[in-house]
């Protein structure tokens, strides 16, 4: 059981727990709070402060558990397990592209390894204002897609992306020579490869598990027809 502190906007909250597990950017924890939902849910690390002994998550309310998490009060407790999954590679001059709460692992990445450009798209202006934590963010919100913003002013360099599957697919299918690393979305139950509940098909026909083999994959290897 770990205790909670927080900061919030209307639909999003940063929830810090008194725990640090030496996570790397792109890894996630399985979190459970209260009796329902019975199965824990996965959340990427937004920031881990090893010295202070805290791990922070960015939560966007959209279902039962995320609504509970954004409502948590300082001192409340929750259960967390991790860090789990494969991290993003540490690269020089990576180009970061985030959609919504896909900002969480890229924020951690930017703080840990730096970046050459950072693109962010959110549903609302309020979310954008909440997440505007870097001076040089190239940002957009509402109906203006972050992928369009990226295509209008493409930047060379390896891509690191997290957000909705359609966004990841578009970025993976752009005609670029540089590698593209994506953190895939999936429903999860165990988070460790036991329940086989998070399959992702690759172009070579293999079926991998998002929790154990990912969530970070080369976007060029993913069979997007199967996934989206």
Ligand X SMILES: Cc1cc2nc3c(=O)[nH]c(=O)nc-3n(C[C@H](O)[C@H](O)[C@H](O)COP(=O)(O)OP(=O)(O)OC[C@H]3O[C@@H](n4cnc5c(N)ncnc54)[C@H](O)[C@@H]3O)c2cc1C
Which residues bind to ligand FES, rule: CB under 6 A?
A: 188-191, 193-198, 209, 211
10 is a contact residue toward ligand X (CB under 6 A):
no
For residue 209, the minimal CB distance to ligand FES (Å) is: 5
CB atoms within 10 A of CB 195: 13
Site track for ligand X across 98-137, x = CB under 6 A: ---x--x---------------------------------
* Closest CB to ligand X among residues 137, 184: 184
Q: How far is the CB of 208 from ligand X (least distance, A)?
A: 14
- C-beta closer to ligand X: residue 109 or 157: 109
* Part in contact with ligand X (CB under 6 A); list of ranges 47-55, 62-70, 127-135, 136-144: 62-70
Spatial contact of 29 and 43, defined as CB atoms under 8 Å apart: yes
**Rounded least distance, CB 145 to ligand FES, Å:** 29
Partners of 106 in beta bridges: none
Binding partner selected for residue 197 from ligand FES, ligand X, none, CB under the kind-specific 5 to 8 Å limit: ligand FES
Residue nearer to ligand FES on the CB measure, 157 or 215: 215
What are the structure tokens assigned to 98, written together?
A: 């985030």
Check binding of 28 to ligand X (CB under 6 A): yes
E strand intervals along the chain: 2-8, 12-17, 28-32, 41-44, 47-49, 54-60, 77-84, 95-99, 117-122, 138-141, 159-162, 180-183, 199-201, 207-209, 216-218
Cα distance between residue 216 and residue 200, in whole Å = 11
The tokens describing 61, both together, are 């309310």
Q: Which of 25, 40, 42, 219 binds ligand X (CB under 6 A)?
A: 42
CB atoms within 10 A of CB 4: 20
* Least distance in angstroms from the C-beta of 188 to ligand X: 6
| DSSP per residue, 73-102 | -TT-EEEEEEEESBPPP--TTPEEEEEGGG
Which value, to the nearest 10 degrees, does the dihedral of the CA atoms of residues 154, 156, 158, 160 take?
A: -20
Give the bridge partners for 153, in sequence order.
none
Minimum separation from the CB atom of position 212 to ligand FES (A): 6
Out of ligand FES, ligand X, none, which partner does residue 101 contact, by CB within 5 to 8 A per kind?
A: ligand X
Footprint of ligand X (CB under 6 A) = 28, 37, 41-44, 57-60, 62-66, 101, 104, 185-188, 215
């Amino acid at each position: 059981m770990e205790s909670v502190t927080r900061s919030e906007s209307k639909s999003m909250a940063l929830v810090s727990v008194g725990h640090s597990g030496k996570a790397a950017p792109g890894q996630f924890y399985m979190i459970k709070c209260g009796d329902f939902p019975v199965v824990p849910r996965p959340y990427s690390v937004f920031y881990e402060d090893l010295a202070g002994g805290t791990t922070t998550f960015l939560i966007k309310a959209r279902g039962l558990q995320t609504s509970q998490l954004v409502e948590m009060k300082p001192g409340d407790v929750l259960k967390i397990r991790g860090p789990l999954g494969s991290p993003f590679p540490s690269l020089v001059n990576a180009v970061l592209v985030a959609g919504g709460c896909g900002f969480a692992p890229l924020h951690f990445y930017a703080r840990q390894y730096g970046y050459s450009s950072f693109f962010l798209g959110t549903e609302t202006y309020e979310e954008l204002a909440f997440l505007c934590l870097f001076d040089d963010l190239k940002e957009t919100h509402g109906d203006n897609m972050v992928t369009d913003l990226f295509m209008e002013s493409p930047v060379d360099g390896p891509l690191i992306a997290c957000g909705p599957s359609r966004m990841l697919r578009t970025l993976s299918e752009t005609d670029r020579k540089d590698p593209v690393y994506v953190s895939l979305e999936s429903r999860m139950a165990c988070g460790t490869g036991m329940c086989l509940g998070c399959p992702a098909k690759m172009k070579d026909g293999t079926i991998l598990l998002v929790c154990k083999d990912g969530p970070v994959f080369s976007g060029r290897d993913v069979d997007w027809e199967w996934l989206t």
